Amino acid sequence: MKQAFARQPESFEFTPDNMETVKTIVAKYPKGCAASAVLPVLDLAQRQNDGWLPRAAMDRTAEILGMPPIRVYEVASFYSMFNLAPIGKYHVQVCTNLPCWLRGSEQVVGICERTLGISVGETTQDGLFTLSEAECLGACVNAPMMQINDDYFEDLDEASTESILLALKMGQKPRPGPQGGRKGSEPAGGLTTLKAIAGKGDGPEAS
C-alpha cells in the first residue's frame, strides 16, 4: 500500500481561488451528492500542495464534502494518481505493461535510472524528479510511453527519453506527444488506407 508520509503538516486550507474552484466543482453535482466531487477536489488539493496529499488535505476535503474521512482515505489510497508522500517536481511514470514492454519499456526505465541516478520509486536529491513504474496508461498504440506530470511522452527510445529528461533538468519545456515525428497515433510508416479523397485516384477503384 502507498505508505502515508511520516512528517505530516498540521493543517491544510485551500487558497481562496481554489476554494472558489471547489465550489464550482461541487455545484456540478446534484444537491446532497457533494461526495461525488471527491476526485476533482482531491486533485485540486494535490496540485496546490506540490503534488502530494497530506492527511490534513484529505480531512479538509472530507469536511468540505461532508464525507466521513475514511471514505476520502479510501479514494486517495486507491488511485495511483494521488500521492500520499512528497514527490519531485517532475513525476516520471513509465508504463511497463505488456505493449510498452514489448516495444522496449525496459530500456526506457533503464535510461531514466541512469540519467537521473535513481532507481524506480526514488526521488532525486535536488527534488526535481521522482521515477515510478505505472500500469497501462492507455497509449499502447504509441508504446513505449511515459507520463511526466500532466503530459504524455510517446514513441520513446533511449535517446529521446534522455533528451526529454535533460531538457526538464535544464528548465526547458520538451514537446509532449509522440517523439518519432508522427502525428498523434496515425500509422508509424505513413498512411496505409484512405490515402486519397474519394474519386480522385490512388485509392482502390470504386466499382
Partner 1 sequence: MPKLTIDGREVDVEAGLTILQACQKIGIEIPHFCYHERLSIAGNCRMCLVEMERAPKPVASCAMPVADGMVIRTNTPKVQQMRRGVMEFLLINHPLDCPICDQGGECDLQDQAIGYGYDRSRYAENKRAVKDKYMGPLIKTIMTRCIHCTRCIRFITEVAGIPELGATGRGEDMEVGTYVEKALTSELSGNIIDLCPVGALTSAPYAFTARSWELRPTESVDVLDAVGCNIRVDARGPEVMRVLPRVHEDVNEEWISDKTRFAYDGLKRRRLDRPWVRRDGKLLPATWTDAFAVVAQRVKDAGGKRVAAIAGDLADCESMLALKELMTGLRSPNLDCRQDGAKLDPTLRASYLFNTTIAGIEQAGACLLIGTDPRREAPVLNARLRKRFCVGKFPIGVVGPAGDLTYDVQHLGEDPAVIQEIAAGSHPFAEVLKQAKKPMLIVGQGALTRPDGAAILGMARRIAETCGMIDDEAGWNGFNVLHTAAARVGGLDLGFVPRKNGLDIEGILEGAAAGDIDVVYLLGADEIDMRRLGNAFVVYQGHHGDAGAARADVILPGAAYTEKNGTYVNTEGRVQNGRLAVYPPGEAREDWKILRALSDVLGKPLPYDTLGELRARLIKANPVFARVDVVQPAAWGEFGGDGQVDRAPFVPPIDNFYLTDPISRASLTMARCSEIFITGELGKTGTDA
Which of these segments, 21-29, 69-77, 153-161, 190-198, binds partner 1 (CB under 8 A)? Answer: 69-77
Which residues ranging from 160 to 189 are in contact with partner 1 (CB under 8 A)?
none
Q: 3-state secondary structure string, 75-114?
A: HHHHCCCCCCCCCCCEEEEEECCHHHHHCCHHHHHHHHHH
Is residue 73 a contact point for partner 1 (CB under 8 A)? yes
Q: Please, what is the angle between helix 55-65 and helix 69-78, to 10°? A: 120
Q: Hey, which bits of 96-198 come out as E strands?
A: 129-134, 146-148, 151-154, 177-178
**55 vs 182, beta carbon nearer partner 1:** 55
- At closest approach, how far in Å is the CB of 105 from partner 1? 20
Is residue 36 a contact point for partner 1 (CB under 8 A)? no
Which of these segments, 23-31, 71-79, 100-108, 160-168, binds partner 1 (CB under 8 A)? Answer: 71-79
Query: Which residue, chain included where needed, has cell 525496459?
Result: 106
The whole-angstrom separation of Cα 110 and Cα 42 is: 32
Hey, is 5 helix, strand or coil? coil
Which of these segments, 20-28, 70-78, 111-119, 152-160, binds partner 1 (CB under 8 A)? Answer: 70-78
Count residues near partner 1 (CB under 8 A): 13
CB of 71 closer than 8 Å to CB of 63? no
- At closest approach, how far in Å is the CB of 67 from partner 1? 9
The whole-angstrom separation of Cα 34 and Cα 14 is: 17
Q: Which of 13, 50, 63, 74: binder of partner 1 (CB under 8 A)? A: 74
- At closest approach, how far in Å is the CB of 74 from partner 1? 4
Is residue 68 a contact point for partner 1 (CB under 8 A)? yes
Is residue 35 a contact point for partner 1 (CB under 8 A)? no
- At closest approach, how far in Å is the CB of 92 from partner 1? 21
- At closest approach, how far in Å is the CB of 156 from partner 1? 26
Is residue 98 a contact point for partner 1 (CB under 8 A)? no
- 110 burial via Cβ count (<10 Å: 0-12, 13-18, 19+): middle
What phi and psi, each to the nearest 5 degrees, are found at residue 119? -100, 170
Positions that interact with partner 1 (CB under 8 A): 1-2, 4, 55, 68-71, 73-74, 77-79
